[in-house]
């Protein structure tokens, strides 16, 4: 009996210890889950992250554009390296974005100094204090009575004069900017207007609200509460000790630019205040990606005006959709006659591609890379415009030529016989 009693007591002690251990593990698990629920996994990637402070000029970045328009390191001559610091993707991305902002300013300088374009502020009647945007125009953009070229980029971080930031950084200025289109157009006698559809708001630093401490409504004695808070704080500190406090980025708010708060709004605004006022007999449009959607929206909003002014539209991998945008039948027919969309495809350049929707001719841009479609179809686009110009000239001549046919009794008799 004594042995059985010992065994019984052992079992009781063992079960009690197991329950205590289980309870302790449960508490640890609960505490761990609680801590993990407060952790953003992205924040963990900021471990040991250098300060988010980057150079302000290309020279400070130690990069420059060579004679071929390629971005190269001033010392090594190597292309841009994204992974400047291993295992710090967020920091590398911020560095890339900082370089992108510098390149945006560089392109502005090229548009003004090399292409001789002038900046026009928007809205045209903006007050001194309100947010503003701008576009670029050639000196003869509104007075050229012959031809006008309008350039509309896609969506994203790119600004006026750019097709794709990635191409500018990793390829060259020719493929990534609109500069080749501008230079060729001006050489061939076009006026030029370059839209800026992604400059839709002014970003300002948000004023943080004053942190208000919650009133102490606890009935616990102050000493006991302090000990409890100290224990909780130690647990958190122990858990986070191997992670440094993440860098806080400044909080910002966006103030929309009047009548230019979206790409569609911007395109409509520039049409109303600039393009429609141009004296050009023939207006041509190049619209990339979301720019194609913005143009179709403009066509819907100003159908008669656009049809009477625009001779042809070259789209590059446009994302427009005549059904979703509710374009009527006459608009769809006009697009079939006046528009061509060079799309990303593995087929050779200018190979017809089956249309997804009954809107306009689709040709291969000769590349499967979306951002390269504008540059790859560069020469084809100007041939397309020339073809429409020739057709327009033939139509004008046909209208101006007086009729030289002499009506005779025999011709009338033949006409009636044919009937």
Rounded Cα distance, 200 and 212, in Å: 34
Neighbour count for residue 203 (Cβ, 10 Å): 11
Contact, 316 vs 373, CB < 8 A? yes
**Whether 112 contacts 119, CB under 8 Å:** yes
The angle at the Cα of 152, spanning 151 to 153, to the nearest 5 degrees, equals 120
Helix (H, G, I), strand (E, B) or coil at 419: coil
Distance set, CA 16 to CA 10, 11, 369 (Å): 10, 8, 67
CA distance 186 to 175: 18
Catalytic residue among 289, 345, 364, 377: 289
Q: How far apart are CA 288 and CA 295, in angstroms?
A: 10
3-state DSSP call for residue 168?
Answer: helix
Quickly list H helices, 246-324: 263-273, 290-301, 303-309
Residue 175 a catalytic site member = no
Catalytic residue ranges: 289
């Amino acid at each position: 009996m004594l042995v059985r009693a010992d065994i019984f007591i052992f079992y009781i002690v063992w079960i009690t210890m197991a329950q205590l251990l289980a309870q302790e593990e449960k508490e640890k698990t609960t505490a761990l889950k609680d801590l993990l629920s407060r952790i953003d996994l992205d924040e963990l990637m900021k471990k040991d992250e250098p300060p988010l402070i980057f150079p302000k000029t290309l020279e400070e970045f130690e990069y420059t554009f060579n004679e071929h328009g390629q971005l190269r390191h001033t010392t090594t001559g190597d292309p841009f390296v994204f992974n400047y610091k291993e295992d710090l993707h967020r920091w590398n991305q911020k560095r890339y974005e900082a370089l992108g902002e510098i390149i945006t300013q560089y392109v502005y300088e090229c548009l003004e100094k090399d292409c001789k374009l002038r900046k026009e502020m928007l809205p045209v009647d903006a007050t001194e204090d309100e947010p503003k945007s701008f576009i670029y125009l050639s000196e003869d953009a509104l007075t050229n009575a012959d031809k006008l070229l309008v350039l509309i980029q896609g969506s994203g971080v790119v600004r006026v004069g750019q097709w794709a930031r990635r191409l500018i950084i990793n390829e060259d200025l020719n493929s990534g900017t609109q500069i080749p289109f501008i230079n060729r157009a001006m050489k061939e006698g076009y006026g030029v207007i370059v839209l800026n559809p992604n400059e839709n708001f002014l970003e300002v630093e948000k004023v943080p609200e004053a942190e208000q401490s919650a009133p102490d409504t606890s009935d616990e004695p102050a000493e006991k509460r302090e000990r409890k808070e100290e224990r909780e704080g130690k647990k958190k500190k122990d858990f986070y000790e191997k992670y440094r406090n993440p860098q806080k980025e400044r909080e910002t708010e966006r103030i929309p630019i009047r009548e230019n708060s979206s790409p569609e709004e911007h395109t409509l605004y520039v049409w109303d205040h600039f393009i429609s006022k141009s004296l050009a007999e023939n207006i041509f449009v190049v619209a990339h990606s979301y720019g194609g959607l913005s143009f179709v929206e403009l066509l819907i909003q100003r159908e008669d005006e656009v049809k009477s002014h625009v001779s042809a539209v070259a789209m590059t991998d446009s994302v427009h959709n005549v059904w979703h945008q509710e374009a009527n039948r006459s608009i769809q027919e006009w697009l079939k006659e006046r528009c061509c969309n060079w799309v990303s495809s593995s087929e050779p350049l200018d190979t017809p591609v089956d249309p997804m929707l009954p809107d306009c001719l689709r040709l291969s841009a000769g590349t499967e890379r979306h951002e390269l479609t504008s540059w790859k179809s560069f020469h084809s686009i100007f041939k397309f415009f020339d073809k429409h110009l020739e057709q327009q000239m033939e139509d004008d001549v046909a209208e101006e030529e007086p009729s030289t046919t002499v009506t005779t009794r025999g011709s009338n008799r033949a006409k009636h016989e044919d009937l």
